């Protein structure tokens, strides 16, 4: 869960001169073309007949085009998941259109849904293919978990704020993900060992250091995606190999701090 301000947007990456740009007219329709190749069009919900206003489906398509595909993320499964999952249902805002803005979205109790691009980026960096088992530390609204479930994963998600865990569980159930996302309230530092190993673990809060117990819950070939550092973080990927772990730093971000046991003694 990222901070409410637009400070979780990473700086310009190689291949994107001038920083983040909105999609130019000549590139319009890129994401929709990729989605069409997957057999998914605006407003589709994986065969689940959910009614919603067409303007919100159009906003979601525009979000995918301008905020994700235009920034270089082309994984069809990620784009299709963001097109399908109804972000506004997790935002809890009286104006659902606000959920599709290019910014983190507040969900109360000092927490937010991450900016759409950050959700897409972390989903992409996880390197998962269905069927997959994913652990998420920091459920928040449940939006990231829903995206992972839409990508074909079974998700175990831990939220340290009990009220948020209950709300996310209810939203995920109402949106049709209750059988694919398992939510529990608690400290995620030690993960969910009884369900390990996982193909990927995503931490959606800033850790002062890599949580060691999570590394041990990865299968060989699995990845931990975690923002590490304070006050800004680097989004790190830790790949478990036969010989140990390989680390890669990807992007500068800013998330709300991870709380609980990881802060003991600091």
Positions marked catalytic: 114
φ, ψ for residue 229, nearest 5 deg: 125, 170
| Closest listed residue to residue 80, CA positions, set 13, 121, 35, 19 | 35
Q: How do 181-185 and 153-159 pair as beta strands? A: parallel
Tokens 């996302």 correspond to 181
To the nearest 10 degrees (0 to 180), the angle between helices 116-125 and 76-84 is 140
Element (H, E) at 112: strand 111-113
To the nearest 10 degrees (0 to 180), the angle between helices 116-125 and 143-150 is 50
Within 10 Å of residue 215's Cβ, how many Cβ atoms? 17
């Amino acid at each position: 869960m990222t901070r409410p301000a637009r400070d979780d947007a990473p700086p310009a990456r190689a291949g994107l001169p001038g920083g983040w740009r909105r999609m130019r007219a000549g590139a319009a329709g890129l994401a929709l073309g990729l989605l069409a190749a997957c057999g998914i069009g605006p407003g589709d919900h994986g065969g689940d007949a959910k009614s919603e206003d067409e303007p919100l489906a159009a906003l979601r398509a525009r979000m995918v085009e301008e905020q994700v595909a235009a920034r270089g993320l082309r994984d069809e499964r990620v784009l299709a998941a963001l097109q399908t999952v109804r972000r506004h249902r997790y935002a809890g805002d009286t104006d659902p259109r606000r959920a599709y803005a290019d910014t983190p979205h507040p969900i109360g109790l000092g927490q937010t849904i991450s900016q759409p691009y950050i959700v897409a980026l972390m989903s992409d960096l996880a390197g998962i293919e269905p069927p997959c088992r994913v652990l998420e530390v920091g459920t928040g609204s449940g939006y990231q978990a829903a995206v992972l479930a839409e990508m074909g994963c079974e998700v175990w998600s831990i939220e340290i704020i009990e009220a948020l865990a209950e709300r996310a569980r209810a939203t995920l159930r109402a949106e049709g993900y209750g059988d694919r996302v398992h939510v529990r309230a608690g400290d995620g530092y030690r993960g969910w060992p009884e369900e390990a190993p996982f193909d990927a673990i995503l931490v959606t809060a800033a850790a002062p250091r890599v949580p060691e117990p999570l590394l041990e819950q990865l299968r060989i070939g699995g990845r931990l995606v975690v923002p590490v550092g304070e006050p800004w973080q680097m989004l790190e990927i830790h790949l478990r190999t036969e010989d140990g772990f390989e680390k890669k730093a990807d992007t500068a971000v800013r998330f709300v701090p991870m709380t609980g046991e990881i802060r003991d003694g600091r």
